[in-house]
């Protein structure tokens, strides 16, 4: 069930009415949320509901066992490890078995051992990466003493709450469980801000992302040799715009929908293309994933403690695994490694500047401009591998950057240039300006707000395509 569809609009209307009617009754509200969320998830394939249920049971058992860390530390550690193995085992089988089976089988065949590994490609369940990471964070946080074990109904509602279920944000237990346990006060909900977020997200996804994808990204990535170097450049920039509008649009919708139900989600994007280096970029892009990788992988590996060699090791492991999290393909591994190498270089440069008594990052308006420019180019270079269907496809695109100058560039139209520049430029607009604009909207009478929303929906319907493609992050 896609957000920008009539089916979902009807579903959410039912969910909205049911949740607020049941708001005075905590247990009934939680059961309704679970039932609605499982129905929402079953829309793709009802069989995977049992996978979501299995992850919930593993997280519950792991949390209950991990909570015994003081009374029985060894047993708690066993419960922690067992639940993590179970959760990662589910994720590994469905998402990575086919990838590793093919590669291991190819190696064995090359060594003359024959075809020994069963080549099976399980169907990838929607959202498995997201609810698995949330389940892992819950168990680990219980083990660390940051959370008390949740009641089964609370944990089930936390993991399956439909606004975040399909593509995040990756909400932690300490952020969402307290909101599930307490009664929501409609007087504290900024409904106008929630609707503003939903409309903004729909416009980003349905209009901008769809246009850029059709106008430049799909044609160039599907047939690189048929396009010029300038078109490849704009395809790289365009994909940066497409995936930002697609994913941040989804996040805006998810945050807005949750807020309409009285629940607050953390921010997931903060003008990522204004970043001055890769470290800054990952503080701004998919923030909930970045902090998950930091707190549950990078820091346990040692973080930035120790020698430069150890820090570089930790960065590379984190970024390569982060790349692999996005998909079982070597292009994602390369994308993660590319960002890892970039962050390692940035780490060494910051260390050397500090050792010389200089600021960690060079200051000054001109320097900041160049840093932002080259960071964006590097990120878009990474997006080529991220979106490429294979390494050969990515190499063909990069080759055209060298050999394709002088060819026609009919796809690079004034409208495309305006859209790409506009999306990037909009990220430099001060956040306060948008807040003031939204405040003006919220102060209008209900009839005026309805008229504005009607015009926005008309514009989205008119400018958007006849059908809406799934969000990019649905496949992760």
119-142 pLDDT per residue, tens: 666 777 888 889 999 999 999 999
For 303-340, what is each residue's pLDDT tens digit?
Answer: 998 889 999 999 999 999 999 998 888 999 999 999 99
Whether residues 176 and 303 share a domain: the answer is: no
Which of 184, 217, 232 delimits the end of a domain? 184
Say how far apart CA 469 and CA 375 lie, in whole Å.
Answer: 29
pTM summary value = 0.91
**From 60, 326, 339, 347, the catalytic residue:** 326
- Helix, strand, coil: what percent of the chain each, to 5? 75, 0, 25
CA distance 439 to 114: 67
Report pLDDT for 214.
93
Same domain flag for 178 and 32:
yes
Residue 262 lies in domain:
191-463
Q: What is the pLDDT of residue 3?
A: 83
Of 162, 184, 206, the residue that ends a domain is: 184
Tokens encoding 382: 């990474």
Is 201:256 a contact under the CB 8 Å cutoff? yes
Q: Does the annotation mark 326 as catalytic? A: yes
What's the mean pLDDT when you consider all of the chain?
90
pLDDT above 90 coverage of the chain, percent: 66
Length of the chain (residues): 476
Per-residue model confidence (pLDDT) at position 450: 84
- Tally the domains of the chain: 2
The tens digit of pLDDT for each residue in 38-50 reads 999 998 888 889 9
Termini Cα distance of the chain: 16
Judged against a pLDDT cut of 90, whether residue 362 lies above it is answered with no
- Structural domain ending residue among the three candidates 132, 163, 184: 184
Give the pLDDT mean for 228-254: 95
The confidence band for 278, taking pLDDT boundaries of 50, 70 and 90, is very high
Residue 436 lies in a domain: yes
List C-alpha distances in Å: 419 to 88, 229, 235, 414, 427: 40, 19, 13, 9, 13
């Amino acid at each position: 069930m896609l957000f920008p569809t009539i089916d979902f609009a009807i579903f959410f209307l039912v969910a909205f009415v049911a949740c607020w009617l049941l708001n005075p009754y905590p247990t009934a509200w939680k059961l309704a949320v679970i039932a609605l969320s499982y129905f929402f998830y079953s829309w793709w394939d009802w069989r995977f509901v049992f996978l979501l249920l299995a992850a919930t049971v593993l997280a519950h058992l792991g949390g209950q066992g991990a909570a015994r860390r003081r009374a029985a530390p060894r047993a708690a550690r066993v419960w922690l490890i067992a639940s993590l193995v179970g959760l990662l085992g589910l994720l590994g089988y469905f998402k990575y078995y086919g990838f590793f089976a093919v590669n291991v089988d190819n190696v064995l065949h090359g060594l003359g051992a024959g075809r020994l590994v069963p080549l099976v490609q399980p169907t990838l369940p929607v959202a498995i990466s997201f609810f698995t990471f949330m389940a892992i964070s819950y168990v680990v946080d219980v083990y660390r003493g940051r959370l008390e074990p949740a009641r089964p109904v609370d944990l089930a509602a936390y993991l399956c709450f439909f606004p975040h279920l399909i593509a995040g944000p990756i909400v932690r237990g300490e952020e969402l469980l307290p909101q599930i346990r307490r009664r929501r006060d409609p007087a504290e909900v900024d409904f106008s801000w929630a609707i503003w977020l939903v409309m903004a997200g729909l416009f980003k996804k349905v209009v901008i992302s769809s246009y850029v994808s059709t106008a430049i990204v799909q044609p160039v990535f599907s047939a690189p040799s048929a396009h010029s170097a300038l078109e490849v450049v704009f395809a790289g920039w365009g994909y940066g715009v497409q995936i930002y509008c697609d994913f941040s649009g989804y996040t805006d919708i998810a945050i807005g929908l949750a807020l309409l139900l009285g629940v607050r989600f953390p921010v997931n994007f903060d003008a990522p293309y204004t970043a001055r280096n890769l470290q800054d970029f990952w503080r701004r892009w998919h923030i909930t994933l970045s902090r998950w990788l930091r707190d549950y992988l990078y820091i346990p590996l040692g973080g930035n403690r120790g020698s430069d060699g150890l820090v570089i090791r930790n960065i590379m492991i984190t970024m390569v695994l982060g790349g692999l999290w996005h998909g079982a393909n070597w292009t994602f591994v390369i994308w993660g490694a590319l960002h890892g190498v970039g962050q390692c270089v940035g780490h060494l440069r910051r260390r050397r500047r500090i050792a010389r008594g200089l600021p960690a990052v060079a200051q000054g308006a001109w320097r900041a401009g160049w840093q932002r420019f080259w960071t964006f180019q590097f990120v878009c270079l990474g997006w080529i591998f991220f979106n490429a269907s294979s390494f050969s496809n990515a190499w063909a695109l990069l080759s055209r950057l060298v050999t394709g100058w002088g060819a026609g560039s009919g796809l690079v139209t004034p409208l495309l240039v305006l859209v790409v520049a506009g999306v990037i430029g909009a990220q430099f607009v001060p956040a306060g300006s948008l807040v003031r604009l939204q405040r003006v909207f919220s102060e209008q009478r209900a009839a005026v707000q309805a008229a504005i929303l009607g015009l926005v929906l008309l514009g989205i319907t008119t400018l958007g395509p006849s059908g809406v493609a799934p969000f990019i992050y649905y496949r992760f």
